[in-house]
A and B are shown apart, each in its own frame.
Chain A
Amino acid sequence: MSPNWYLYLSAALFVIGAMGVLLRRNAIVVFMCIELMLNASNLALVAFSRMNGKLDGQVIAFFVMVVAAAEVVVGLAIIISIFRTRRSASVDDANLLKY
């Protein structure tokens, strides 16, 4: 098995995540699909790191994880505050900037 297969798997997971973002209307499921895309890119970074024999790819994947954690925290807080005002977690309902 060639290590290229990790990259193919990563591409497949990334596209599945993108499909979820495009198809689903529930904001929380959309967020989970974004997490799937970030994880897929992490897998590619780790595979590149091994192919090149350098640890830099793993460090970048680590930074991606930190940024993803920050993004999840803020995004879920936004979802909760939208849910409080509109009683809905659907991305189609929030089509105005206020109220």
Chain B
Amino acid sequence: MNPLLLHVHHVALVLSAAHPLTKTSTGEEVAFWIFGPLAIVCALSLVFAKNAVHAALFLVVVMFSLAIFYVMNQAPFLAAVEIIVYAGAIMILFLFVLMLVGVDSSDSLVETLRGHRAASVVMCIGVVGLLVGGIAHALSGTTYTTLTDANAAHHGNVQGIARLIFTTYVFPFEVVSALLIVAAVGAMVLAHREKGQKVGQRELMKRRVAAGGRIGSLPGPGVFARHDDAAQRALLPDGSPDEADVLPEMAGIAPSSNPGDGGEQA
């Protein structure tokens, strides 16, 4: 490599490192102290809200505050995704399921494990102490850079993220897309309900024919007969007497066939 180029590169690195960020701008500070407490208050309201719909709306406020923090942290793409995907799509999904399940499905106040509420609160206070102490200890005296150089190197934040996703992180990207497909199919399998089989006219007819029953209606007595005898059998379209027309008790009385009728009918 050209030693002159190396030197220029080195100078550029030194220059960018020569302006470490220890303090953010005043505007950012004001916005942080407005939206930070707002996010905390809304998160607490989400936990303690009685109505689940109110909890969902508090979560939307938290997500909007987070989108503002993303913008202040030089991540405009993630801010847009946060609002479109989280506050838009996912929260609508939550509200749909809430309405489906029923808003009045409130919490049971019975403790299944005795004393688990007090233990949970104590544990949360302990964890927040650990986290804050750990962060304060780990980051004391460190200097910061900004994303201005990284964003400018790719002519913008979106372009920079796109370059990373499709080069360094292309395999995780493909895996995550497969995960999305699997999740969509899984949701369809889980939420799909087989409809109860409603028996139609066609199925009823097929069932009757398969059972070997009579297909048409019974003929009226004396149809196509030359006698006014109630025991006289009606004639089927092919000219033969209908065995089902006359009661079995009268079968011995009636003549089994009408002589001469068969020829006329045929």
- Set of chain B residues within 8 Å of A35, measured between Cβ atoms: 59, 86, 90
Whether, in the assembled complex, B63 has its beta carbon less than 8 Å from a beta carbon of chain A, the answer is yes
How far apart sit A67 and B179, CA to CA, in the bound complex (Å)?
8
Q: Are B147 and A18 in contact (CB under 8 A)?
A: no
With A78-B190, A80-B101 as known contacts, state yes or no: A19 contacts B183, CB within 8 Å. no
- Set of chain B residues within 8 Å of A53, measured between Cβ atoms: 16, 145-147, 149-150
B243 to chain A, nearest CB (A): 53
Interfacial residues of chain B within 93-132, with CB under 8 A of chain A in the complex: 93-94, 97-98, 100-102, 105-108, 110, 112, 116-117, 120-121, 123-124, 127-128, 131-132
The 0/1 profile, CB within 8 Å of B marked 1, for residues 11-42 of chain A is 11111111110111110110111011001001
Q: Are A20 and B46 in contact (CB under 8 A)?
A: yes
Q: Are B73 and A73 in contact (CB under 8 A)?
A: no
* Chain A contact residue count (CB 8 A cutoff): 71
How far apart sit A67 and B43, CA to CA, in the bound complex (Å)?
22
- Set of chain B residues within 8 Å of A58, measured between Cβ atoms: 75, 77-78, 157, 161
Out of B24, B63, B165, name the residue touching A62 (CB < 8 Å): B165
- Set of chain A residues within 8 Å of B8, measured between Cβ atoms: none
How far apart sit A33 and B46, CA to CA, in the bound complex (Å)?
8
Interface of A is mostly: helix
Out of A22, A31, A49, A50, name the residue touching B94 (CB < 8 Å): A31
With A8-B135, A46-B75 as known contacts, state yes or no: A28 contacts B97, CB within 8 Å. yes
Q: Are A80 and B40 in contact (CB under 8 A)?
A: no
Q: Are A23 and B120 in contact (CB under 8 A)?
A: yes
B66 to chain A, nearest CB (A): 6
Q: Are A1 and B24 in contact (CB under 8 A)?
A: yes
Q: Are A46 and B23 in contact (CB under 8 A)?
A: no
Q: Are B78 and A77 in contact (CB under 8 A)?
A: no
Interfacial residues of chain A within 49-92, with CB under 8 A of chain B in the complex: 49-56, 58-59, 61-63, 65-74, 76-81, 83-84, 88-90, 92
- Set of chain A residues within 8 Å of B90, measured between Cβ atoms: 35, 68-69, 72
Question: What is the count of residue pairs linking A and B with beta-carbon distances less than 8 angstroms?
Answer: 238
Q: Are A9 and B40 in contact (CB under 8 A)?
A: yes
Q: Are A72 and B93 in contact (CB under 8 A)?
A: yes
Whether, in the assembled complex, B237 has its beta carbon less than 8 Å from a beta carbon of chain A, the answer is no
Q: Are A29 and B43 in contact (CB under 8 A)?
A: no
Q: Are A20 and B164 in contact (CB under 8 A)?
A: no
- Segment from B28-36, B209-217, B218-226, B228-236 that makes contact with A: B28-36
Q: Are B180 and A62 in contact (CB under 8 A)?
A: no
Whether, in the assembled complex, B244 has its beta carbon less than 8 Å from a beta carbon of chain A, the answer is no
- Set of chain B residues within 8 Å of A84, measured between Cβ atoms: 193
The 0/1 profile, CB within 8 Å of A marked 1, for residues 39-74 of chain B is 110011011010010011001001100100110011
A34 to chain B, nearest CB (A): 11
How far apart sit A81 and B128, CA to CA, in the bound complex (Å)?
35
How far apart sit A39 and B65, CA to CA, in the bound complex (Å)?
11
Q: Are A36 and B46 in contact (CB under 8 A)?
A: yes
Query: Nearest 4 CB-CB pairs, A to B?
Result: A53-B145, A70-B183, A22-B120, A77-B190
A-B contact pairs, 5 of them (CB 8 A): A18-B124, A42-B66, A50-B144, A72-B93, A77-B190
